[in-house]
Amino acid sequence: MVFPAFFREMAPGTSGEKTLFDDESSCFYHPTKKAVVPCDICGRFLCALCDVDMHGQHMCPSCIDAGKTKGKMEQLEVERTRWDVIALTLSILTWIPPLLYLIMFTAPATLFIVIRHWNTTLSPVRPNRWRFVAAFLMAVCQLALIGLIATMFVMEVGAYE
Amino acid sequence: MSKTPTVYKRKLPGKAKRGFGLLNATGQRLWLGPDHLLVINTLYFKERYKRFYFTDIQALTITRTTTGMILNVVFAILAALFGIWGAAAFLTLGWDPVAGIFLEIVAVCFLLGLALNSLFGPTCRCFMYTPVHCEELFCLGRLWTARRVARELHAIADTAQGGTLDSADVDNLAVRQGSMQKQALGIAASAPANAMLQEVRHDDGKIHSSLFYLLLVDAIMSVSLLIWPDFLPAPVSMGFVALLIFVTVAAVIRQKRSDLPRNVRNVTWTTFAYLCLLVFFMYVFTVINEFGRTMGEDEPLALEGLQTILVKVINSISLVFDLLLSFIGLRYLSDFRRRSAVYEEPTAAPGEE
């Protein structure tokens, strides 16, 4: 199946035109080259070489780099860790009988993950926090269970003495 | 910088995993964004995103594969094997009915697999092309789903790219088809979706062709054993199976990071799985044989009939698998060699840059 873009010629790359007059505005990164557009983020003048067209938005390489490293530009984000899935998996797995003994470690770990990563960006396609809520509730239940068992144990020991 | 998150309204059909079990299973899903298609590759708890803008998508190719058919044949043979085995245990040999029920349950599981595989439809491979990239959409592994998604994408991308194709474009298509096929050939030999760019080594497939010819020889031996059960002494046939396993392992090692197409690799892996099953059945047969001999010292056991049936069943299955795998493997290999010859780069003349 072929789309119309298949027959579109690719635009040739440009290296930037040199400035001819002293009063011509030049590129922030290449002072000898003519500025063609300002950066939409920082406002620096850019030549054709430095201008990056991100679907209608003109940006300079440093703004793109900053946006990518700080995760502010969604278009440049290529990876996310699903902390909500990790928390939920951890809280569910510990109900399996052989792993039940790990509950005293996994329940606090689940709570830590939920609280620490509550504000982190979730999956872009299903950005709801129900997994965090479910993991939190389960971890609280697990901690309550540990508390109950500990209380019963203390009472038993007290009665025995 | 824009902080408004993109809203993905709809998930496109198709969900698949690639890789073996829990070790390296990459899942893939497709979501429709306002101006792009989001491809999400999931590995454990990490999601990796690729955005394909509708204005950049050039083409979508769907190639029908025989994987589904091969899977159906394998399921059918295994279901028949366990069904016959279970029925034999029930009816003729006076075995424990629990064993018969267990075998029948296994047969029903294989039948269920066969039914589900048939229900999902034929298999295919789907590639999406942009001016600088070719991405395999392995979540569209079923033909009907791939066609549905292609139709939907076609409508959206046509609108985004402003118009439909005219007759001059269609005439131009044949010229560019060759380069696309070449690109697809390179992708077909590539490693899993999450792998980084790796050096691909050329393989002429000699070990693979030896393996497929050895399978043909094994088929001839199976026919001979079906007609004359004492045609070959047991150590000779077991030695031949050992040789087959050795060559298969060599082929599996050899095909790693080579440019052999995925279908040849799959046939090699299937051969490996089949040989493992064969060795398992041979082991079961030996255990039954020994059990009958040991117990038969005190009182005669009705295991002779079972042994005869087992020998015939193993030889028949071996014959079917040998023929299937060798013919399919040799055919794919010859296809690969022919394509390699067609798309081989012309070597530069001496002194030419």
DSSP secondary structure string for all residues of A61-80: HHHHHHHHHTT--GGG--EE
> What pLDDT sits at residue B42?
87
CB contact under 8 A, A124 and B162: no
**Closest-approach residue (CA) in chain A for B39:** A78
> What pLDDT sits at residue B83?
83
> Using one digit for the tens of pLDDT, what is the confidence trace for A72-127?
676 777 888 889 999 999 998 888 877 777 888 888 999 999 999 888 878 888 77
Give the whole-angstrom CA distance, residue B145 versus residue B61: 13
Host domain of residue B252: 201-342
Does B349 fall in a domain?
Answer: no
CB contact under 8 A, B154 and A3: yes
Residues B179 and B259 in one domain: no
- B300 φ, ψ to 5°? -70, 140
Does B217 fall in a domain?
Answer: yes
B332 Cα to chain A: minimum distance (Å): 25
Does B216 fall in a domain?
Answer: yes
CB contact under 8 A, B48 and A78: yes
Give the whole-angstrom CA distance, residue A81 versus residue A64: 22
| Location of structure tokens 């079961």 | B284
**Residue A8 in tokens:** 């579109």
Residue that terminates a domain, selected from B139, B164, B188: B188
pLDDT band at B290 (very low <50, low <70, confident <90, very high): low
Does B1 fall in a domain?
Answer: no
Nearest to B47 among A3, A63, A79 (CB): A79
A110 Cα to chain B: minimum distance (Å): 15
Residues B233 and B184 in one domain: no
Residues B226 and B291 in one domain: yes
> What pLDDT sits at residue B160?
81
> What pLDDT sits at residue B20?
54
pLDDT band at A2 (very low <50, low <70, confident <90, very high): confident
For residues B259 and B337, is the Cβ–Cβ distance under 8 A?
A: no
The mean per-residue pLDDT over the stretch B19-30 comes to 70
Residue numbers in B near A124 (CB within 8 A): 5-6, 8, 38, 49
- Judged against a pLDDT cut of 70, whether residue A143 lies above it is answered with yes
Q: Which of residues B89 and A52 earns the better pLDDT score?
A: A52
Q: Is B96 on the interface with A (CB under 8 A)?
A: no
Give the whole-angstrom CA distance, residue B313 versus residue B222: 11
Residues B334 and B214 in one domain: yes
> What pLDDT sits at residue B197?
42
Residues B140 and B279 in one domain: no
Structural domain count, chain B:
3
The mean per-residue pLDDT over the stretch B139-158 comes to 88
Residues B97 and B147 in one domain: no
Nearest to B172 among A7, A63, A79 (CB): A7
> Using one digit for the tens of pLDDT, what is the confidence trace for B185-202?
455 444 444 443 446 777
> Using one digit for the tens of pLDDT, what is the confidence trace for A12-67?
666 667 766 667 788 888 888 888 888 888 888 888 888 888 777 788 888 887 77
The mean per-residue pLDDT over the stretch B165-194 comes to 53
For residues A9 and A2, is the Cβ–Cβ distance under 8 A?
A: no
- Judged against a pLDDT cut of 90, whether residue B116 lies above it is answered with yes
- Judged against a pLDDT cut of 60, whether residue B2 lies above it is answered with no
Residue that terminates a domain, selected from B122, B139, B162: B122
Residues B133 and B169 in one domain: yes
For residues B208 and B330, is the Cβ–Cβ distance under 8 A?
A: no
- Judged against a pLDDT cut of 60, whether residue B279 lies above it is answered with yes
Residues B53 and B161 in one domain: yes
CB contact under 8 A, B2 and A79: no
- Judged against a pLDDT cut of 60, whether residue B177 lies above it is answered with no
Does B353 fall in a domain?
Answer: no
List of long-range contacts for B276-279, beta carbons under 8 Å, 24+ apart? B278/B241, B278/B314, B278/B318, B279/B241, B279/B245
Mean pLDDT of chain B: 77
> What pLDDT sits at residue B178?
56
**Closest-approach residue (CA) in chain B for A87:** B45
Does B295 fall in a domain?
Answer: yes
ipTM of the complex, rounded to two decimals:
0.75
For residues B70 and B270, is the Cβ–Cβ distance under 8 A?
A: yes
CB contact under 8 A, B165 and A74: no
Residues B233 and B305 in one domain: yes
The mean per-residue pLDDT over the stretch B231-236 comes to 73
CB contact under 8 A, B47 and A123: yes
CB contact under 8 A, B48 and A79: yes
Does B77 fall in a domain?
Answer: yes
Q: What three-state secondary structure class fits A13?
A: coil
Does B307 fall in a domain?
Answer: yes
**Residue B225 in tokens:** 């054993």
Residues B224 and B138 in one domain: no
Residues B116 and B132 in one domain: no
Q: Which of residues A5 and B176 earns the better pLDDT score?
A: A5
Other CB atoms closer than 10 Å to residue B347's CB: what's the count?
A: 7
- Judged against a pLDDT cut of 60, whether residue B338 lies above it is answered with yes
Residues B246 and B333 in one domain: yes
> What pLDDT sits at residue A123?
81
> What pLDDT sits at residue A24?
76
B182 Cα to chain A: minimum distance (Å): 16
Among A3, A59, A69, A110, which would you mutate to test the B interface (most chain B Cβ atoms within 10 Å of its Cβ)? A3
- Judged against a pLDDT cut of 50, whether residue B31 lies above it is answered with yes
> What pLDDT sits at residue B8?
79
- B319 φ, ψ to 5°? -60, -50
pLDDT band at A68 (very low <50, low <70, confident <90, very high): low
Residue B136: CATH number of its domain: 2.30.29
> What pLDDT sits at residue B191?
41
